[in-house]
Amino acid sequence: MSRHLIDDVVVGWDELGTDLLDDVPPALVTALTGGEHWPSRTLDHLITPDGSPPVRMSVTDTTADEQDMQWGYVLHKEGVEVISLLHEDIGPIVSWSTDPRTAFNDHPAAWSSLDSPPAMRASRGRQPQRAPAAAPAKAGTPRPAARR
């Protein structure tokens, strides 16, 4: 996953596709995408203000606010750390073994570094709803609200 998401991309991602699901059971692909397939797309044809070649963004505590970043994700061996940059500096880790159909609370304040990831359990007899592409998390010093 880290090779696909980080190492094999020059600048960044425009959209992550179903190619991330290439080795999962077909029934799971159908549950998550309705059976549709589409490729991931990288950020291509970017034009910088000064005409220089585009480069990857470096996100730090300082630049996160400047870049209007709302979520951060850190890949760990045990799972993905999801950080709500509007509320926290670190976040809870969603295990790689988590069922991808698990529904998560998508409110940034729900992703506290002190708590488990805010999964919302489906009622009995129902399949979990489709999970968002990434779940948020929070920790540390509160950040100002994002500017749009």
Between CA 86 and CA 20 the distance in angstroms is 28
pTM: 0.64
Tell me how long the chain is.
148
Between CA 22 and CA 60 the distance in angstroms is 32
What's the pLDDT tens digit per position in 88-131? 888 999 999 999 899 998 888 889 888 888 887 654 444 444 44
- Mean pLDDT (the chain) is 78
Between CA 108 and CA 138 the distance in angstroms is 7
- 14-23, 28-37, 130-139: least confident range: 130-139
Coil, strand or helix at 61: helix
Residue 33 backbone dihedrals phi, psi, to 5 degrees = -120, 0
